[in-house]
């Protein structure tokens, strides 16, 4: 049985899987699955980049985990989830981490 989208009829609303044995690009379920996988891969890559950036800022800061988390305005446990890549931090959290991780300029020390 071929996918209803191939025959020109409207696809079934509650159909979880395409009934077509020939999964083609014209099949809405096939296209949705490809898009879902691409989004998941992109999200995983973003989480990894954010975790790497936070780890680098943490190492450059020279602070303890507790002090780094406190200065970022978060808890140690939340910082741990950010550093492990389980949770993607907000842009505000990343900006705070960048500020803590960069060396102070001579004008900031005076």
How confident is the model over 24-72, as pLDDT tens digits?
Answer: 556 667 677 888 888 888 888 888 888 999 999 999 998 999 999 999 9
**Locate tokens 């900006």: which residue?**
95
State the average pLDDT for the chain: 77
User: Element (H or E) spanning 25, and its range?
Assistant: none
* pTM beyond cutoff 0.95: no
Q: Can you read off the two tokens belonging to residue 93? A: 């959290």
Coil, strand or helix at 24: coil
The Cα 16–Cα 70 span in angstroms is 46
Confidence band of 110 (pLDDT split at 50, 70, 90):
very low
pLDDT at residue 100 greater than cutoff 70: yes
Q: Comparing C-alpha atoms, which of 66, 64, 87, 88 is closest to residue 76? A: 66
């Amino acid at each position: 049985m071929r996918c209803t989208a191939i025959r020109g009829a409207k696809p079934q609303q509650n159909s979880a899987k395409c009934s077509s044995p020939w999964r083609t690009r014209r099949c809405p379920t096939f296209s949705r699955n490809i898009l879902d996988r691409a989004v998941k891969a992109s999200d995983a890559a973003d989480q990894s980049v954010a975790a790497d950036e936070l780890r680098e800022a943490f190492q450059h800061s020279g602070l303890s985990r507790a002090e780094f988390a406190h200065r970022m305005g978060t808890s140690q446990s939340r910082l741990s989830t950010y550093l492990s890549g389980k949770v993607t931090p907000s842009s505000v959290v990343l900006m705070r981490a960048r500020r803590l991780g960069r060396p102070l300029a001579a004008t900031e020390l005076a």
